[in-house]
Structure 1
Amino acid sequence: MNPSTAQAQVIVDELVRCGVTDAVLCPGSRNAPLSFALHAADAAGRLRLHVRIDERTAGFLALGLALRSGRPVPVCTTSGTAVANLHPAVLEASHAGVPLLALTADRPPELIGSGASQTISQPRIFGDAVRLGLTTAVATPAPGVAARWRSAVDRVLAAAAGVPGGPPGPVHLNVPFAEPLVPQAGPDWPEPLAGRPDGSPWTTVPGGRRTVPTLPLDPAAPTVVIAGHGAPADVDLGGAPVIAEPSSGRWAEGLRTGPWLLGASPMAVLKPAQVLVLGRPTLHRPVQRLLADPDVAVYAVADAAGAPWTDVAGTVRAVGAAPALCPPDGWADRWRAADAAVSAALDAALNGPDSPAGLRLARALLAALPGGAALVLGSSNPVRDVSLAAVPRAGLTVLSNRGVAGIDGTVSTAAGAALAHPGPSYALLGDLTLLHDTTGLVVGPGEPRPDLTLVVLNDQGGGIFSLLEQGAPEHAGAFERVFGTPHRVDLGALCAATGVAHTAVADPAEVAAAVAPVPGIRVVEVRAQRASLRDGHAALRKVVETAVAPVLAAG
C-alpha cells in the first residue's frame, strides 16, 4: 500500500469512528486518495457520500447537512482554487457556529512556490474563520505515523464541536499527498493501520457547558425578550412578550407583529424597562433601535458554548444566565392586545391584491406547510417576509444562513438540510438567490437526492434594495441598473436544463395547492413585481399605526 492511500484510509476511518455520517466530495486529482477512501466507506455503508462538481456548492451542501444534523460534516476538495471556493461556506459556518470540516488535499511542501500547477499556500488560507487548522506531514511509513493521523482527525473534530471549550464552528485539515495518488498493489504497510478494536475514536475528548453567573436584572420589571438566531431553548421567559426571529428556535412563542409594533409611534405604553437578548438578532431595524435606546436596560444571555454575545450598539450591561422572569400583571396582556389588533389589521391589508407579494407569499406558505417540515429561509427579503407576515407556529424546523447573511449557497444549504431532515423540506428564496447557486440544482444520477421544494419569489431583481435608503425616489436614476439588477432568466427553462421539476404560480395565495410533499427537487415559482414594493410597505406601516393607536391610548 502506498503512503497516500494509507493516510487517506486512516483519516476516513477515524472520521467515521468520530461520528461522521455524511461527507461531501468534489472531483480532483490531488484528492484522489481521499476520494477512493470515501467511496469505499460509502460502499460499505459506513457513511453517506455526496459528490458535487462545484466546490462552493459542495461547501454549502456540507454546511446544510451540519446545520440540520448538528454533526461535523467534511467537504473534501483537491488543491488550489478549489480550496478557496470553500471560503464563503467556512465564513458562514464560523459566524453561525456550524461544525464544518474543510478536508483539503495539498501538494507536497517542496512544490509550494515552484510554479507547479494548482499549487498555492493552503495552510491558514481561512485565517481566523476556522476554530483550528492543521496540516499533516507528507505520509511516510514511519513508526507511529498512523496514530498521529488519527490524533489530528480527533483534534480538528473536537474543535469543530466546540470541545473542550469555545463555540462550535468550521475547522481545516490540510493533507499534502505525494504521488502515487491511486491504490496500488504492493507490500503491506509496515505498521498496523487499524484504530481502537472497539470502534471508538483514537482520542476521546470530554464535552462540557460553561457555568456563568446569573444576570443582575429585575425579573419583575416590564421586560421584552428579543430572540435572534441561535437563541437557547432552556430559558424560562415567564410569559414575557417575545419578539423572535423565525430561525431563532423560539419563533413559535413569539408575537406575530412584534417588529411592526416596535416601529409604531408613539409606543410609550409598550416601552420596556429592560430587554433580554437571546441569540443574535439581525433582521429588523426597530429591534436595533430598541437595543440602542439609552433608557432601556439591555442584558444578554450567555451562549452555553462560549460564542460571543451580540451588542451592536454597545448597550449591553451584563452577560450571563437568565433568571426566571415574572413580569408585572398586565404587561404581557398589553402586548398581546396590541399584537392581536395589528395582526387582524395586517391580515385585512394583506388580503388586498396590491399588498407586497412577498409578505402574502410568506403568510400563505407558512400556513400551508405540513407538520414536521423543515424550512430554509433565504436572506434578504424572504426571512424578513416570514418574520413580518407569517403566523408563528410550532412543528416546523426553521433554518437560515444568518451567520454572515449572504445569499450565496442557499440552494445547496437547503439541499443539505433536506438530506439530513427526516420529514419534508422546503426553502423560500428570491430569484437572485436561486441564480446565485444554480449549480445547487445539479445532482448526479447516482447521488442521494433530497426531497426539497424551493419556493422562489421571482420579481426579476433585488427587491430588498427597494426598502433601503437607495430605494428612495431621489436615487431612481441609478437604482434599477445597479441595485435592482434586473434579469431575463427563464426559470422554467433553467429547471428543465438541470432536470428539476418546475411549477409557475400566478398568485401567492395559490402556493398552498402547489407545495404538497413530493419526491425529489422541484421549484415553485411565484411571479411578482418590484415596482410597488416600497409604497406597499409604507402603506402597511400606516395600517399598523392606525390599528395600534386605540390600544396604546387605552394604556
Structure 2
Amino acid sequence: MTGSTECARVVVEELISFGVREVVLSPGSRNAPLSYEIFEADKIGLLRLHVRIDERSAAFTALGLAKASGLPVPVITTSGTAAGNLHPAVMEAWHSRIPLIAITADRPAAMINSGANQTTRQRGLFAGHVRAEVQLAGNDLDPRSWRFELHRGLVACSGQRTMIAGPFHLNIAFSEPLVPEPIDGIEEEYREITGLTREIESTDLPAEPLTVIVAGDLPTDDGRRVAEIADRAAVPLLAEPSSNARTAATAIGSYRLLLQSGLADEIERVIVVGHPTLSRPVTALMSRSNVELIIVEPSPEWRDPAMNADRVIARFNIGHPQSANRDWLERWQQADRQLSGRIDELINDSASITGPALARTLLGRLGSDDLLFVGSSNPIRDLDLAPVRADGPAVYANRGLAGIDGSISTAVGIALAADQPTHALLGDLTFLHDSNGLIIGAAEPQPRLRIVVANDNGGSIFATLEQGHPAQLSAFERVFGTAHRVDLGAVAGSVGAAYTKIDELADLDQLLRQPPAGLEIVDVAVDRRHRRTLDQRLNSLAATL
C-alpha cells in the first residue's frame, strides 16, 4: 500500500469511527487517494457520498448537511484555488458554530514555493476561522500520529470539550503515486471515539422586572426550549424566523415594528438567546443603557454586538409569573393583534406580488413536519413579518455571516440530510449567486427540494436602506439595483430541474399543496418598484397605536 493510500484510509476510518455519515467530494487529482477510499466506503454503506463539481457549492452542501444533522460533515477538495473556494462556507460555519470539516489535498512540502502546478501555501489558509488545523503528510508513514492529530481536530470540531462546535481544517500533503492498488473494501469495525462533555447549570431569574426574550438564529431543539420557557414565564418572545421559537404562544409576530413604539420604552430587562441579526430595532434595544441585558450562551464565546451585556449566563429559567408580568404580556399581545391586522391590510392591498405576501403564502402552506431554508437579504425579513404559527416548519438560514453565498447548496444539504421534502425561499440574486448548486450528477443522491425564488430582477433590499434614498437614485439602479434579466426557466432547463412561472399568489398556493418530488424551481414575479415605500409604510404603523 502506498503512503498516500494508507494515509487516506486512516483518515476515512477515523471519520467513520467518529460518526461521520455524509461526505461531499469535488473531483481532483491530488485528492484522488481520499476519493478512492470514500468511494469504497460509500459502496458498502459506511457513509453516503455526494459529488459536486464546484468546490464552493460542495462546501455549502456540506454545511447544510451538518446544519440539519448536527453531525460533522467533511468537504474534500484538491489543491490550489479549489481549496480557497471553501473559505466562504468555512467562515459561515465558524460564525454559525457548525461542525464543517474542510479537507484539502496538498502538494508535498518540498514543492511549496517551487511554482509547481496547483501549488500554493495552504497551511493556515483558513486561519482565524477554524477551531483546529491539522497538517498530515502521506509520506510520513506514521498512522499512530495521524490518528492522534485527527482525533484532536475532530473533537475540537464537534465542540465536545469546549461547547463550541465549528470548522476544522485538515490539510494533507499527498505524494505520488496517488492511485491505490486494487482493494476489496474497507474493514467495517472501527473504534468509537467519545469526547468529554460538561454539564452547565441553569440560572434561575426572577419573574420581575418587565422582560422580553430576544431569540436569534438557533437550532430547532434549542428554539423549542426557549419557546417553552417563554410560555411558562409569560414573557413576550421576540423571535426571528430561524430561531425556531416562533411557535410559542407568547411569540410577538410584529415585534420588529412594536420595538419602534412607546411600548418598547417600558422594557426593563432583555434576555438574548441565539444570534439575532435581522433588524436595527433589536440592535438598538440591546444597546440601551437603561435596560438590563442578559446574554444566554453556554460556550465561552458569547455574542454581544452592542458590547452592553450586564451578565452572561449558560442557561436560564424564569420564575413563576406575577400578575404584573401577565399584564405586561397581555399588553404586548393586544398591541400585536392590532398591528398585525394593519400589516395584513397593507400587504393585501397591493395589486402585484410583494416579498412579504410571498413569504406568508409559502409559510401558510408549510406545517410542523416541513423544513424551510430561507435566504438572506429580504426573504428572511419578509418571513419575519409573517403571522406566528404554533405548527410552523423548522426554519434554517445561514445567519453566521448572513451572506448570500452557497444558499442553494446549503438547502440541498439540508434536504439530503433530512431525506424529506424541503422548501427554500431565496431572492433572485441569491439564487443566481449559487446556481452551480443545482448541478447534481445523475449518480448522486437527489434532494426533494422546491426552491421558491422571489424574482424582482435585482437587489431590492438596498431600496430599504440608505442607498435607496431619493437623493441617491442616480446611481441606484446601476450599482445597487443590478437588474440581470436572466431567464430562470433556461437555468432550470440546463440542469433538468422542473420549472414553474408564477404571476398570481393563488397559483402558488395551489402548487404548494403538493410536496416537491425532486428538484423544482418556482419563479415568482415580485414587484420591487415600490419596495421602499412599502417598507416605510410598514415602519410607520406602530406609531399609530
TM-score in terms of structure 1 length: 0.92
Offset of residue 5 of structure 1:
1.0
Q: Deviations over 1:8-62 (max 9, x none)?
A: 1121122111110000000000000000000000011110000000000000000
Offset of residue 296 of structure 1:
1.6
Aligned position for 1:552: none
One-letter identity of the residue aligned with 2:517: P
> 1:150 and 1:313 mapped to 2: Cα distance?
42
Aligned position for 1:127: 127
Aligned residues with identical type, % of pairs: 44
Query: Secondary structure at the residue paired with 1:375?
Result: strand
Q: Deviations over 1:413-464 (max 9, x none)?
A: 0000000114320100100000000000000010001000000000000010
Conservation of the 8 A alpha-carbon contact between 1:255 and 1:339: yes
> 2:278 and 2:428 mapped to 1: Cα distance?
20
> 1:361 and 1:375 mapped to 2: Cα distance?
14
Conservation of the 8 A alpha-carbon contact between 2:40 and 2:186: no
Aligned position for 2:432: 435
Q: Deviations over 1:317-374 (max 9, x none)?
A: 1111423143623110100111111112211222212477000001111001144111
Conservation of the 8 A alpha-carbon contact between 1:10 and 1:150: yes
> 1:510 and 1:285 mapped to 2: Cα distance?
34
> 1:117 and 1:534 mapped to 2: Cα distance?
50
One-letter identity of the residue aligned with 2:342: A
RMSD over aligned CA atoms reads 2.1
Offset of residue 291 of structure 1:
1.4
> 2:481 and 2:15 mapped to 1: Cα distance?
45
Any unmatched runs of 5+ in structure 1? 550-555
> 1:390 and 1:510 mapped to 2: Cα distance?
21
Aligned match of 1:391 in 372, 388, 391? 388
1:541 aligns with 2:535: no
> 1:295 and 1:446 mapped to 2: Cα distance?
59
1:252 aligns with 2:247: yes
Conservation of the 8 A alpha-carbon contact between 2:216 and 2:276: yes
Aligned match of 1:517 in 515, 518, 522? 515
Aligned position for 1:79: 79
Conservation of the 8 A alpha-carbon contact between 2:454 and 2:525: yes
Conservation of the 8 A alpha-carbon contact between 1:23 and 1:75: yes
Aligned position for 1:206: 196
Query: Secondary structure at the residue paired with 2:53?
Result: coil
Conservation of the 8 A alpha-carbon contact between 2:422 and 2:516: no
One-letter identity of the residue aligned with 1:225: I
Conservation of the 8 A alpha-carbon contact between 1:221 and 1:273: yes
Offset of residue 309 of structure 1:
2.2
1:407 aligns with 2:404: yes
Q: Deviations over 1:117-143 (max 9, x none)?
A: 1001111100110000000133344xx
Aligned match of 1:297 in 292, 296, 300? 292
Distance 1:329 1:522, change over 3 A: closer
1:222 aligns with 2:210: yes
1:323 aligns with 2:317: yes
Conservation of the 8 A alpha-carbon contact between 2:6 and 2:138: no
Query: Secondary structure at the residue paired with 2:139?
Result: coil
One-letter identity of the residue aligned with 2:516: V
Conservation of the 8 A alpha-carbon contact between 1:372 and 1:424: no
Q: Deviations over 1:167-187 (max 9, x none)?
A: 10000111111000001369x
> 2:474 and 2:259 mapped to 1: Cα distance?
32
Offset of residue 209 of structure 1:
4.0
> 1:198 and 1:86 mapped to 2: Cα distance?
31
Distance 1:381 1:62, change over 3 A: same
Q: Deviations over 1:461-481 (max 9, x none)?
A: 001000001100000000110
Aligned match of 2:282 in 283, 287, 292? 287
1:240 aligns with 2:231: no
Distance 1:307 1:528, change over 3 A: farther
Query: Secondary structure at the residue paired with 2:137?
Result: coil
> 1:330 and 1:390 mapped to 2: Cα distance?
22
Conservation of the 8 A alpha-carbon contact between 1:356 and 1:536: no
One-letter identity of the residue aligned with 2:263: M
Aligned match of 2:443 in 443, 446, 467? 446
Query: Secondary structure at the residue paired with 2:172?
Result: strand
> 1:57 and 1:209 mapped to 2: Cα distance?
37
Aligned position for 2:307: 314
Distance 1:168 1:78, change over 3 A: same
